[in-house]
Each structure stands twice: as structure tokens, then as C-alpha cells.
Amino acid sequence: MSALTTNRNTQRRAQGSHVDPVAAGVVIHSGALIVLNATSFAQPATVATGLRIRGVAEHASNNVAGGDGAGNVVTRMGSHFLANAGDIDRSHIGSTAYIADDQTVTAVSTGSSAVGRIDDVASGGGVWVFIS
């Protein structure tokens, strides 16, 4: 492609957001951790290796009756307040958080996929995790 010779309206997205097609047979709840599965469709986070984190769902998506890609979900990256599996404390700040379920993170990497960097641990037990 050659260089521009006139103005161009270049499309853009909001920083830190994604729109992904949803996997067949799943329900995504607003606020859930969302991952891409082996075939690159969005699904709620589960304990498994090889999943790729996309962010937190901005809205619900019900694709129970649809095939792969029949629905979409918008996810947001950034710092999110997530539930603590009970094993993360302040000594873990700066370390990687891993998936325990679609709203909970753990310090245990065995059999799980990474969510993001632990930014802070609240006195009530929740965890701030930066998803990038």
C-alpha cells in the first residue's frame, strides 16, 4: 500500500477494550473474567492451562443456544477488584494472579492460566489485579 496523499479517517477503539465472539453453549455474566479458549472464542474463566485472558465482561451474553460466534462480548482491561481465593496477601503484590473461577483469583499457578499482576490486597480480602 502506498503512503497517504490525503486525510484518512482511521478507525480506533477505546483503549483497553475488546469485542470478541462468544463460544457456543455458554452464558457470560457482567463482571465475569473472560478468556479466549483454544479456538479463540470468549468464555467465562475456568481453571485450565492455555487460556488467554481478555478482561472483565462489560455486559452479559447468553449464547447457550447459539454456535461459536453467534454472540459477542465486550471486555475491559485495566485494574479490577476481584475475589480472593484466600491465599493472596500483601506479600504477593507485584506477582501474577491466576484463575480460580470467573470472579476469583489465586496465587496458585498449577493447572491454571494467568489473569494479571496483583496491584493491591484489600483489608476485606479482595484483590486488585491489573489485566493487560
User: Which one has a higher pLDDT value, 14 or 22?
Assistant: 22
66-111: pLDDT as tens digits: 999 999 999 999 999 999 999 999 999 999 999 999 999 999 999 9
DSSP calls for the chain: -PPPSS--------TTEEEEEBPTT-EE-TT-EEEE-TTS-EEE--S-TT-EEEEEESS-EE-SSS-TTSSEEEEE-EEEEEEE-S---GGGTTSEEEESSSSEEES--TT--EEEEEEEE-TTS-EEEEE-
- Note the pTM of the prediction, 2 decimals: 0.89
Strands of 37-77, DSSP E = 42-44, 52-57, 61-62, 72-76
22-63: pLDDT as tens digits: 999 999 999 999 999 999 999 999 999 999 999 999 999 999
What SS3 class is residue 84? strand
Contact criterion met (CB below 8 Å) for 98 and 113: yes
What SS3 class is residue 55? strand
Residues 6+ apart with CB under 8 A from 124: none
